[in-house]
Amino acid sequence: MQHEENGPTSGFSTKAIHAGEARQKLGDSITDPIFAASTYTFTDSQAVIDFIEQGHPREEYGRYGNPTEKVAEQKLAALEGAEAGLLYASGMAAIVGLLMAKLNAGDEVVFFDECYHRSREFCAKHLSRFGVVTRQVKTGDYEAMESAITPATKLLVSESPTNPHLSIVDLQRFAELGRRHGVETLIDATLATPFNSQPIAAGVDYVLHSATKYLGGHNDLLAGVLLSSEERLEPVRNLRGILGAVISPQTIQLLLRGLKTFELRIERHNENGLRVAQFLAEHPRVEQVYYPGLPSHPYHELACRTMRGFGGLVTFLLRDADWRATADVVDAARIPRIGPSLGGAESLIEQPLVMSYYECTPEDRQAFGIPDNMIRMACGLENADDLIADLAQALDR
């Protein structure tokens, strides 16, 4: 299938709507069709031989890709300013796919410590079984990261912003550190999205998004994407076809549909996040708010310099509240539903102690920076006035 750029594509929404798509599509349809095929057929034996010998671009078998997937990958690459993209069944499948493709026994990975807990778990509990060593250093401590690099180090990993503390990584400094030591770099930019930050332009080698969150945007799909150069992704693409954590054509269609409104949605998430954070910062029952858009945030200046917006996630601590009093505020909210995840139309609220860290020891929770009085709110697309009024009644009870 031919994919041509569809006229001028400088604006973010223009890219989100048109990039990666052929102007004239199968069946003269304006949207890309779903190819619900597990396999793709050849006209005759010579066509199979030509495909193998000359690598004609076409489909072969569903596990190796499908036409709708290529559209979505090109669209996401255009949004990120990357050469190529690689879709997966989930964000975790994408990070596991990258780490498995790039690391060998004896290799080392260095992480900033405020990383997604399942990524940390995969490295510490599972990559270690294959002889890969994981080192963690404090988020934002670039000297510690540099000291942790050895001749065996193959990858530096961080999230930015981090979850739930919303720390921001200086992407240029992070990328430069990797380049100086000949080590590749990966940023999980799920919380930023390609709208709010551009790690590839800053020199980062790989960007990961859980497309389950803002990119899909409707709390109705699971997907993950890796973005990088074609050359860097080639071995990762080959392993994806073997690991088999592939996304279904129907899910890709939901993702493509979500992406059409991506800029409109992220602007609203940014606005709601900022308004809610400003409200909370003024509330007498709130001890501290973590939101990079607030001047009180330790990374505010870096965030203003490097980000277009600060996202919909707001974390805060209640003043003089034990875990039960904190849970009471969560339970009193009427608009946000209680649940993990973020980035969808529906706001979500949760107490990290209960939702993600309940089975940790108190010592581990302290090490991860998860106090009992912490609440995380993922602002959706509702009206900010309603979200604020709802939080006000929950806090004033």
Residues 96-135: x/- map of binding to ligand PLP (CB under 6 A)?
--------------------x-------------------
**Residue 159 engages ligand PLP in binding (rule: CB under 6 A):** yes
| Of 101, 104, 75, nearest in space to 87 by CA | 75
Least Cβ distance, residue 39 to ligand PLP (angstroms): 27
**Residue 350 engages ligand PLP in binding (rule: CB under 6 A):** no
Nearest residue to ligand PLP, scored by beta-carbon proximity: 91
92, 274, 276, 286: which one binds ligand PLP (CB under 6 A): 92
**Residue 196 engages ligand PLP in binding (rule: CB under 6 A):** no
Helix (H, G, I), strand (E, B) or coil at 299: coil
Question: Which part of the chain contacts ligand PLP (CB under 6 A), choosing from 134-142, 207-215, 278-286, 321-329?
Answer: 207-215
Nearer to ligand PLP, 92 or 286 (CB): 92
| Angle (CA) 199 204 207, round 5° | 65
**Residue 188 engages ligand PLP in binding (rule: CB under 6 A):** yes
Nearer to ligand PLP, 86 or 191 (CB): 191
Least Cβ distance, residue 231 to ligand PLP (angstroms): 25
Main-chain phi, psi angles of 113, to 5 degrees: -70, -20
Residue type, 303: A
Nearer to ligand PLP, 318 or 374 (CB): 374
| Angle (CA) 97 99 103, round 5° | 130
Please list every residue from 3 through 62 that binds ligand PLP, using CB under 6 A: none
CA 334 to CA 386: how far, in whole Å? 10
Which residues make Cβ contacts (< 8 Å) with residue 233, sequence separation at least 6?
84, 85, 86, 226
Record the tokens describing residue 357, joined without a space. 């860290």
Please list every residue from 213 through 252 that binds ligand PLP, using CB under 6 A: 213, 222, 224
Please spell the DSSP secondary structure of 17-67, one letter per residue.
Answer: HHTT--SS-GGG-SSPPP---SB---SSHHHHHHHHHH--S---BGGG--H
Least Cβ distance, residue 114 to ligand PLP (angstroms): 10
**Residue 373 engages ligand PLP in binding (rule: CB under 6 A):** no
Nearer to ligand PLP, 326 or 356 (CB): 356
Question: Which part of the chain contacts ligand PLP (CB under 6 A), choosing from 4-12, 56-64, 205-213, 244-252?
Answer: 205-213
Least Cβ distance, residue 43 to ligand PLP (angstroms): 38
CA 18 to CA 3: how far, in whole Å? 10
Question: Which part of the chain contacts ligand PLP (CB under 6 A), choosing from 102-110, 167-175, 206-214, 267-275?
Answer: 206-214
Nearer to ligand PLP, 197 or 286 (CB): 197
Helix (H, G, I), strand (E, B) or coil at 290: strand
**Residue 377 engages ligand PLP in binding (rule: CB under 6 A):** no
CA 256 to CA 373: how far, in whole Å? 38
| Of 101, 341, 337, 104, nearest in space to 226 by CA | 101
Main-chain phi, psi angles of 325, to 5 degrees: -65, -35
Residues found near ligand PLP in the complex (CB under 6 A):
90-92, 116, 159, 163, 188, 190-191, 210, 212-213, 222, 224
